[in-house]
């Protein structure tokens, strides 16, 4: 049926009204969307741009594993242990102090370490992770991980820390590592980016410091995506760093431990060398200290105790301590005279207990004198007057030249914190150092290793090795790097007549094995192990004429720090040298009583690779020596490490 016009018109009006309403609604919705888009794109553009930027990719440095250090037998001297730590990235944390406060409610934080970390964050780049807590427990790591959303920029890490399994035995040789300091950075012209990582460990002393470039390795990188609150969303890629090189040293851990135990309780140094190739077999300085305390953060109390100890445990006495060599220097004077043909082997001088030169008396240690003395006897009985007379023929310049030829007055190239050059004086040296003109008395004092002459135990060991072999041996401490053998230096013959060397060696043999030898009580009786050597006693105080007239005060009656230094140098076997040794006992008294017995024990320990058998000693001494050896606090021998792990 056809609709009426009125109905059609009414329907059209309804449809039009609904269309208008729908259109208005659509238009209003579109307007709201447009306004919202304008608000977000214009008014809030900076905020959303920041959020977008913060949900981005970070590139972080991965510290490499530090190279390991082994002894000559493959026993680990310096290794790495896995530890947990909590770190914070300043730019991800927003408000580091507030985040640190929240972290402190979850795990215990050292207030001093927290303050240090906040200060560190201000000085470092904002994207560099700063260690908040080190060596934390697994429970603390789990607590931080669970509460990660409330701790922006804070995350746990697994790291490697240095440790020294043999403790104090190698503290002065291997040294120790510690966090990079501003002082360290200031000394480096183009620092490795790794050094910018707070608390990154680098070598501070010893081999750790001197071979830092080998041991450190190269950094790796990790590309991670982090969200706006600094939480790591995922790791996109990872490139591991290159571990540092492994070093094998020439030292023997058994012998080193024996040396340390043998001089325990003394302020002393022992150096043991293989005179055939220059390998340092032991380098002991007593007392020692535990390097692990420095790695973990030594307390003020412990550090003050080390600084205030009168025996000075921190310096390496073996390489940087310098002492008047005393009578151990007499071989230098003898060789200088023999080489220039100024004396023959049978020429003699008369010792009356003193010699007068320039209206001054120079005394021999024997007040009654030695009578007629030739070269061998002068060494065997350590006659001072013989060398006073000899020095006036030779002169200081020839003596100094021979001393340098034998390794004294030379800074030997070893990867140790400090290697002393010592002093071999000459006329020009005295003028240059402002000490005035050289006088004849200076020569007489120098010729017996007193006066201005100073040498380290290391130099005395080199001198002994060169005399024993007739070769220009140089000391070596690093045997191999990543399994590659390092070169041996100084195998060329010394420019010294072999006959003259033989004469001096005979005198050194008589010191230990001859009648009235100054070290006769320290002889070795084991077949094929006879020792040759030389005692030395160096004064540390002046003896006045009045004291000499009434009798020189015994060392036992003097305060410790005014007693003479005791020295001994030697090698064995005397006819085919395999081991050379030097011993210095600070304020030990006489070289024959304090230093020579130590040297004998050490030479035997080197030969037997451990505690010597009693059969090597004279029968009359075995009871006393048994007690001494049994009382040594020796470390249990360790087996060589398996493989060459870099972890």
Does residue 120 lie in a domain region?
yes
Q: What is the pLDDT of residues 529-563, one digit of tens each?
A: 999 999 999 887 677 666 666 667 777 778 878 88
| Token pair recorded at residue 519 | 């070290």
| Co-location of 594 and 476 in the same domain | yes
| Co-location of 260 and 238 in the same domain | no
Does residue 31 lie in a domain region?
no
| Co-location of 231 and 267 in the same domain | no
Contact by Cβ (8 Å): 343, 296:
no
Does residue 465 lie in a domain region?
yes
Does residue 183 lie in a domain region?
no
| Co-location of 396 and 433 in the same domain | yes
1 pLDDT tier (thresholds 50, 70, 90): low
CATH number for the domain spanning 147: value is 3.90.1310.10
| Co-location of 238 and 295 in the same domain | no
- Residue of 507, 486, 529, 489 lying closest to 617 (CA atoms): 529
Q: How many domains does the chain have?
A: 2
What separation in angstroms does the CA of 346 have from each of 329, 373, 381?
Answer: 21, 9, 16
Distance of alpha carbon 318 from alpha carbon 396, whole angstroms: 26
Q: What is the pLDDT of residues 63-102, one digit of tens each?
A: 788 999 999 999 999 999 888 888 888 877 888 888 888 8
| Co-location of 264 and 229 in the same domain | no
| Co-location of 124 and 273 in the same domain | no
Mean pLDDT of 180-197: 75
Phi/psi-derived region of residue 371, left when phi > 0, alpha when psi is between -120 and 50, beta in every other case: left
Does residue 81 lie in a domain region?
yes
Of the three residues 229, 246, 263, the one that is the final residue of a domain is: 246
| Token pair recorded at residue 646 | 């870099």
User: Phi and psi dihedrals of 61, rounded to 5?
Assistant: -75, 140
- pLDDT over threshold 50, residue 646: no
From the list 168, 245, 267, 327, the catalytic residue is 327
| Co-location of 220 and 290 in the same domain | no
CATH number for the domain spanning 266: value is 3.40.710.10
- How long is the chain? 647
Q: What is the pLDDT of residues 265-307, one digit of tens each?
A: 999 999 999 999 999 999 999 999 999 999 877 888 999 999 9
| Co-location of 288 and 229 in the same domain | no
Question: Does 595 or 152 have the greater pLDDT score?
Answer: 595
Weakest-pLDDT range from 189-203, 242-256, 462-476, 599-613: 189-203
Does residue 425 lie in a domain region?
yes
Long-range CB contact pairs, 106-111, < 8 A, 24+: 106/140, 106/143, 106/144, 106/147, 107/133, 107/136, 107/140, 107/143, 107/144, 109/133
| Co-location of 329 and 241 in the same domain | no
Contact by Cβ (8 Å): 266, 585:
yes
Is 285 a residue of the active site?
Answer: no
642 pLDDT tier (thresholds 50, 70, 90): very low
Q: How far is CA 636 from the centre of its chain?
A: 23
Does residue 505 lie in a domain region?
yes
| Co-location of 425 and 493 in the same domain | yes
Residue 119 sits in which domain range? 59-163+215-246
| Co-location of 387 and 514 in the same domain | yes
Does residue 405 lie in a domain region?
yes
How much is the pLDDT for 16?
73
């Amino acid at each position: 049926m056809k609709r009426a016009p009125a109905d059609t018109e009414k329907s059209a009006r309804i449809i039009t009204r609904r269309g208008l309403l729908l259109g208005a609604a659509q238009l209003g919705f579109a307007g709201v969307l447009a306004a919202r888009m304008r608000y977000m794109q214009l008014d809030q553009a900076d905020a959303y741009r920041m959020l977008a930027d913060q949900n981005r990719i970070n590139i972080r440095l991965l510290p490499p594993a530090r190279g390991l250090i082994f002894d000559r037998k493959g026993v680990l001297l310096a290794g790495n242990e896995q530890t947990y730590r909590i770190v914070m990235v300043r730019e991800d944390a927003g408000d580091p102090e507030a985040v640190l406060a929240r972290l402190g409610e979850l795990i215990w934080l050292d207030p001093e370490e927290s303050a240090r970390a906040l200060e560190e964050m201000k000085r470092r780049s904002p994207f560099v992770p700063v260690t908040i807590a080190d060596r934390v427990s697994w429970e603390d790591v789990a607590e931080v991980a669970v509460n990660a959303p409330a701790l922006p920029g804070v995350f746990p890490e697994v790291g490697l820390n240095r440790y020294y399994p043999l403790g104090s035995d190698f503290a002065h040789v291997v040294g120790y590592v510690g966090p990079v300091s501003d002082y360290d950075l200031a000394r480096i012209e183009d620092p490795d980016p790794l050094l910018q990582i707070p608390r990154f460990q680098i070598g501070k002393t010893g081999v750790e410091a001197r071979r830092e470039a080998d041991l450190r390795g190269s950094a790796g990188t990790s590309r991670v995506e982090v969200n706006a609150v600094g939480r790591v969303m995922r790791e996109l890629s990872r490139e591991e760093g290159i571990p540092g090189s492994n070093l094998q040293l020439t030292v023997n851990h058994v012998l080193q431990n024996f040396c340390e135990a043998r001089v325990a309780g003394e302020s002393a140094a022992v150096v043991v060398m293989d005179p055939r190739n220059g390998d340092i077999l032991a380098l002991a300085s007593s007392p020692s200290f535990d390097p692990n305390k420095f790695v973990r953060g030594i307390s003020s109390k412990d550090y003050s105790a080390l600084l205030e100890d009168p025996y000075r445990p921190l310096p390496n006495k073996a390489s940087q301590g310098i002492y008047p060599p005393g009578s151990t220097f007499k071989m230098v004077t003898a060789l200088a005279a023999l080489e220039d043909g100024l004396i023959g082997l049978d020429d003699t001088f008369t010792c009356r207990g003193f010699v007068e030169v320039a209206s001054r008396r120079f005394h021999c240690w024997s007040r009654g004198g030695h009578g007629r003395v030739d070269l061998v006897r002068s060494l065997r009985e350590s006659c001072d007057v013989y060398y006073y007379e000899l020095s006036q023929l030779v002169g200081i310049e020839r003596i100094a030249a021979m001393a340098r030829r034998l390794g004294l007055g030379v800074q030997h190239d070893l990867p140790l914190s400090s290697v002393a050059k010592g002093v071999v004086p000459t006329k020009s040296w005295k003028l240059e150092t402002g000490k005035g003109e050289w006088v004849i008395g200076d020569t007489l004092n120098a010729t017996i290793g007193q006066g201005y002459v100073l040498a380290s135990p290391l130099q005395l060991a080199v001198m002994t090795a060169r005399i024993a072999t007739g070769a220009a041996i140089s000391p070596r401490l690093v045997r191999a790097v990543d399994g590659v053998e390092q070169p041996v230096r100084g195998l060329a013959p010394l420019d010294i007549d072999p006959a003259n060397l033989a004469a001096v060696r005979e005198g050194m043999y008589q010191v230990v094995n001859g009648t009235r030898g100054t070290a006769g009580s320290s002889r070795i009786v084991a077949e094929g192990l006879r020792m040759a050597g030389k005692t030395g006693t160096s004064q540390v105080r002046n003896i006045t004429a009045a004291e000499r007239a009434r009798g020189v005060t015994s060392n036992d009656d003097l305060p410790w720090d005014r007693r003479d230094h005791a020295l001994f140098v030697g090698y064995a076997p005397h006819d085919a040298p395999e081991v050379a040794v030097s011993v210095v006992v600070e304020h030990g008294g006489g070289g024959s009583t304090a230093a020579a017995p130590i040297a004998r024990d050490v030479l035997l320990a080197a030969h037997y690779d451990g505690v010597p058998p009693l059969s090597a000693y004279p029968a009359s001494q075995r009871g006393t020596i048994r007690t001494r050896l049994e009382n040594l606090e020796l470390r249990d021998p360790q087996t060589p490490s398996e493989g060459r792990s870099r972890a």
